[in-house]
Amino acid sequence: MAQQRRVVVTGLGVVSPIGNDVDTFWRRLIAGESGVGPITRFDTTDYKVRIAAEVQGFQAEDFIDKRKARRLDLFSRYAVAAAIMANDDAQFTPSLEAERVGAVMASGVGGLQTLHVETDKLLHQGPDRTNPLLVPMMIPNMGAAHVSLQLGTKGPLSTTCTACAAASDAIGYAARLIRDGAADVMFAGGSEAPISPVGVSGFAAARALSTCNDDPTGASKPFDARRDGFVIGEGAGVLVLEELEHALARGVRIYVELAGAGMSSDAFHMTLPDETGESQGRAMLMALREAGLDPSAVDYVNAHGTSTGPGDVAETRAIKYALGDHAYEVAVSSNKSMIGHCLGAAGAIEAVATVLTIVNSYIPPTINLTEPDPECDLDYVPLEARFGRVDVAASNSFGFGGHNVALVFSRYDG
């Protein structure tokens, strides 16, 4: 029987509320700096929620021709920028072997910015003023499409749209394409730009968002007894996944190995998670099984950790379900305490953080955790980052509708 093809990570790219490059993102993440602040994109006077984790200082023209950039919704601009950064980091030239290189990108809501602008135009100026590029700017697959167009990939090209699990879903799917021999290199991740009137008002109406408008940096507080909802965020994350022998032949730096991915469904509720945590825990166990690792091997869990009441309790139970008593010995933290919830991009940005946690042996904190919820009784690395060797890390992503994905990364020592 042929040996299974192994998948490693050779490039990282990120656009986030705390930095538009990997070094800045990691430095501020470890420092426990929040990217949450008042919304600046539109007038929030009449809104119940007036805070978000916005990307600051991003210039699409640094990555894309200015004329082309105008034809892309913001979520696609983020996707292309993160992919170019990841490609440069991997020191790769996709066009040299284009048919063996692909892309799987995620987005939960697609081009909301374009949808809002064009709907407003339709209502106030009439149908004849609709932008002819409305549809190709709005549809969620265009993040992946523009990554492929920009980099010249001609292998597998796909988009996952599984809500807040979408980016982790994309990464797991891309890894399987490499393992199955359909590609040697895949760009995988997700992008999102939901901070618009319709995005904010929609999640606020569902009572999913924090209303701590007077304390933006303290609003996202996963696993804390005072949590009152998530903070909406935006950005993109991209990983270059590569077949191990292909990476070794190039002599490129290998960050970590993507050892396993697991998926499950709650079949429970349209928005609420399976309160027992069993469905989410099964995704973690499936990822560990694919990795060939015992639950006791896990050193760190990058939690989904949204700062919602039922979500954080369910995830705590899921970690216990998957890891048993070992759950109490594992460090757990939520990046969303600093970057908010980036929806379809969350899993990719958090995967970048998980990779860097293993590489640097430094665990990001869960900030704002000062009053622990008694039902959330694990080690959530409160307030300050922590040194500690991490050989195996899981990254969890759970989405509306019961979509659960867990990724397992492991240290690569050659």
Residue 246 annotated among the catalytic residues of the structure:
no
Residue 371 has pLDDT above 70, yes or no: yes
How far is residue 191 from each of residues 95, 107, 194, 404, 409, measured CA to CA in Å?
Answer: 23, 6, 10, 18, 21
Task: Note down the domain range covering 77.
Answer: 8-250
Q: Which of 146, 246, 341, 403 is catalytic?
A: 341
Answer yes or no: do 266 and 235 share one domain: no
Q: Does residue 383 share a domain with residue 360?
A: yes
Instruction: Return the pLDDT at 288.
Output: 98
Q: Which of 320, 57, 341, 316 is nearest to 203 (CA)?
A: 341
Within-domain flag for 145: yes
* C-beta of residue 407 within 8 angstroms of C-beta of residue 168: yes
pLDDT of 2: 55
Which of the listed residues 250, 279, 300 is the one where a domain comes to its end? 250
Region 164-187: mean pLDDT is 98
Same domain? 238 vs 302 = no
Q: Please give the average per-residue pLDDT across 40-64, as a whole number.
A: 97
State the pLDDT at residue 270.
84
Whether residues 83 and 166 fall in one domain: yes
pLDDT at 3 over 90: no
In the predicted structure, residue 111 carries a pLDDT above the cut 60: yes
- The total of other beta-carbon atoms located within 10 Å of residue 151's CB is 21
What is the domain count for the chain? 2
Average pLDDT for the chain: 96
Task: Find the mean pLDDT for residues 311-336.
Answer: 98
Of 250, 278, 302, which one is at a domain's C-terminal end? 250
Q: How many CB atoms sit inside 10 A of residue 99's CB?
A: 11
Residue 222, domain member (yes or no): yes
- pLDDT one-digit tens code per residue, 251-275: 999 999 999 999 999 888 988 888 9
Neighbours of 129 (CB within 10 A): 10
Q: Quick one: 22 and 155 in the same domain?
A: yes
On whether residue 147 sits in a domain, the answer given is: yes
Instruction: Name the one residue in this structure whose structure tokens are 């167009």.
Output: 149
Which residue out of 146, 161, 164, 342 is catalytically annotated?
Answer: 164
Could you tell me if 217 and 334 lie in one domain? no
Domain boundary among 250, 282, 302: 250
Both 84 and 121 in a single domain?
A: yes
Write down the pTM of the prediction: 0.97
Is the separation of the CB atoms in 345 and 167 below 8 Å?
yes
Exposure b/e, 301-332, CB count within 10 A at least 16 = b: bbbbbbbbeebbbbbbbbbbbbbeeebeebbb
Same domain? 81 vs 110: yes
pLDDT at 1: 41
Residue 2 lies in a domain: no
Q: Find the catalytic residue in 146, 212, 246, 304.
A: 304
Q: What is the pLDDT of residue 414?
A: 80
Told to judge if 146 belongs to the known catalytic residues of this protein, a careful annotator would answer: no
Task: Please report, for the domain that includes residue 374, its CATH number.
Answer: 3.40.47.10
